[in-house]
Amino acid sequence: MRRASNAQGVVMKVLLLTGMPGSGKSEAVKVAEEMGIPVHHMGGMVREMVKAKGFEADRANMQAVADGERKKFGADIWARRTARLITSTPIVVIDGTRSLEEVAYFRKELGQALTVVCVHGSPRTRWERISRRGRGDDPRTFEELQMRDQNELRWGLGEVIATADVMLVNEEGKGTLRAQMRRLLLDAGSQPAAASGETTFTEVGDK
């Protein structure tokens, strides 16, 4: 990974998004993209690898490939690969962290430049959204959503949510969430990064 330090005059803030399925992360990401802020999707890297292996990019194959890479290279492998994509820009959003190991890697590399942001919605609210959006790999019943939630929690997502720096509660609809996310991004852009010397570029590999 190559990351600019403040000693080089670069101001950087990184927002790491997390949340349960259907919580509204995609809508929060749209706000960042509309503001011209770079967004890196951790799940997108998994999807690309699944396709490169010649498999259909469904949930089962993505989970199998993601877990296989974690077992082979370490629990933080997807964080390490995503970190390489970060460039010297004032604000970056990373979508999709699922474990404390991933968060720990980002915190080690980014220090005070990192803010972990959880988008939160109740199970019933999330199910209402999921049942309307019609994605092919979405749960088809509330019970299936509960099973998927349990799988996400086994990955460690619950611990990430519990230790997030910022909680965006998404129970009132898109408008409220979008306003919260926009304010968060504007605030991040107006705050100074960590003190000079606290963050530096490093090189990381898969092994």
DSSP class per residue in 40-54: EEHHHHHHHHHHHTT
Question: What pLDDT score does 207 carry?
Answer: 44
pLDDT values of the chain reduced to their tens digit, one per residue, 207 residues: 334 343 344 558 999 999 999 999 999 999 999 999 999 999 999 999 999 999 998 888 998 999 999 999 999 999 999 999 888 788 999 999 999 999 999 999 999 999 999 999 999 999 999 999 877 778 899 999 999 999 889 878 999 999 999 999 999 989 999 999 999 999 987 664 443 333 333 334 454
Task: Give the DSSP letter of residue 155.
Answer: H
Task: Give the DSSP letter of residue 24.
Answer: S
Question: What pLDDT score does 36 carry?
Answer: 95
Question: What pLDDT score does 8 carry?
Answer: 42
Helices 123-133 and 142-155, axial angle in degrees (round to 10)? 110
Q: Which CATH architecture has domain 6-41+87-190?
A: 3-Layer(aba) Sandwich (3.40)
* 126-184 tens-digit pLDDT: 999 999 987 777 889 999 999 999 988 987 899 999 999 999 999 998 999 999 999 99
Rounded Cα distance, 155 and 46, in Å:
15
Per the structure block, which two tokens stand in for 73?
């290279």
Spatial CA neighbour of 147 closest among 17, 21, 19, 18:
21
DSSP H or E run through 14: strand 13-18
Question: What pLDDT score does 53 carry?
Answer: 93
Helices (H), the chain: 25-34, 42-52, 59-73, 77-83, 100-110, 123-133, 142-155, 157-162, 174-190
Question: What pLDDT score does 7 carry?
Answer: 39
